[in-house]
Structure 1
């Protein structure tokens, strides 16, 4: 169950990141170097506001073998 939830979080993060990257690259302002920084800043802030952070690492159980 934990593995399934972790995989779902990873897939969601990758899909959303890919969609946002495509939108960022299609933005005409991104072509202009002087406004590219502000566009990328808005992109990062939007991702943070929506709570779309990188998934937490999957925690594994300690090995029972010495």
Structure 2
């Protein structure tokens, strides 16, 4: 997760993201955020958790139940 954030944080312009290698290697970060959002008492973060599950499923079909 730290590696991904370092790489993405180093881009100078949004167009640079298209050229970045392994730009989709954020699955671990998404799963961690989803699990943390799921543990809160706020409904808005529960909805965010559901949306992150959809993102995870787009990266790796069937992985949303991790």
What range is the shorter-chain TM-score in? 0.3 to 0.5
TM-score after normalising by structure 2: 0.34
The structure with higher relative contact order (CA 8 Å, sep 6+) is 1
